[in-house]
Structure 1
């Protein structure tokens, strides 16, 4: 049985979107110095899971299940992004223990890493474009992508 073009498009989207969003997050962190806060990290974990599930869908049946789970991971990250954006815009209060996760360099003590770690607040956007923060863009892109993937799976089911 051949795969429908809807399933193939859903698979590729489920792999590409979280991979590109993660790549953008790491570029913003390591190239532009926009260190992630704790809620930024929360948004990355479902994308990692979505990439793994999407890759699994290329090799292991049932493909539609893995793609749907990947879309669910993408949507989860987007919803966390919505919560984070709401904290940034002051719509609601966020968590109280929000700061960057320190990383030790070779030969550096954990205390030095903590003391030299930049303080990154979850309630202040590190960067915005047209008034939309990175968390807001994650929500918009992830929500749209997951809805698109679910729609492609629905079309595949009908085909």
Structure 2
């Protein structure tokens, strides 16, 4: 890093954050994926919000991205990393971009901009408390509907927030991929 930012401390801070994030992106991508999965499971477990079909599909993206991130963290400690840095970070970017697209589809179904999948047209809420009644045959559980937002904050549902978060993660992945390697920096 050069001292081009001596006169502007804010610019220097941005440069340092950029350097830190892009240098350690596989670890941060892994940790971000793990955190988002933990938050989703907390909403389910403690908030009682059962996931719909599309919610579960969105979680799969974070499981995949977390696995790629963890493998990349290990590869960073090998001589292979200089050749694998670009494809690993681009793969993370592609996963997060796919996740943003899936979340956009889900949010659009919630806003009634287009229909959701037929596998997601349930009208009821599944809850752990209903499991015993279902096993006894006295109650039936319907999967949550994909076109009904179960939680909204600042005008966005979980799917809407997921669009923004996934896009941010995709952008950071591409920035990490385009980062000059330490050898040429």
Could you state the TM-score of these two structures normalised by the residue count of structure 1? Answer: 0.81
From 131, 142, 145, give the equivalent of 2:166: 142
The partner residue of 2:63 within 37, 48, 52 is 48
Q: Which has the larger radius of gyration?
A: 2
Are the equivalent residues in 2 in contact too, given 1:14–1:71 (CA < 8 A)? no
Match of 1:31 in 2: 46
Most deviating of 145-154 and 83-92? 145-154
How far has the Cα of 1:84 moved from its partner? 0.1
Q: Is the 8 A contact 1:10 1:153 kept in 2?
A: no
User: 1:68: which partner in 2?
Assistant: 90
- Relative to structure 1, the CA distance from residue 109 to residue 11 in structure 2 (aligned partners, 3 Å threshold; closer, same or farther) is same
1:55-134 alignment runs, 5 A limit: 55-60=70-75, 61=80, 62-98=84-120, 99=122, 115-134=139-158
User: Structure 1 residues 130, 112: closer, same or farther in 2, change over 3 A?
Assistant: farther
Contact 1:15 1:55 in 2 (8 A): yes
The question of whether the paired residues in 1 share the 8 Å contact of 2:21 and 2:28 is answered with: no
Question: How far is the alpha carbon of 1:47 from its aligned partner?
Answer: 0.8
Change (3 A) 1:138 1:13: same
**Structure 1 stretches of 5 or more lacking a match?**
none
Gaps of 5+ in 2: 1-18
The structure with higher relative contact order (CA 8 Å, sep 6+) is 1
Distance (whole Å) between structure 2 residues aligned to residue 125 and residue 103 of structure 1: 16
Query: What whole-Å deviation, never above 9, does each CA across 1:104-125 have from its counterpart, x for those lacking one?
Result: 99x9698658x44354111000
Asked if 1 retains the 8 angstrom alpha-carbon contact of 2:103 and 2:162, the reply is yes
- Aligned mates of 1:58, 1:72 — CA distance in 2: 18
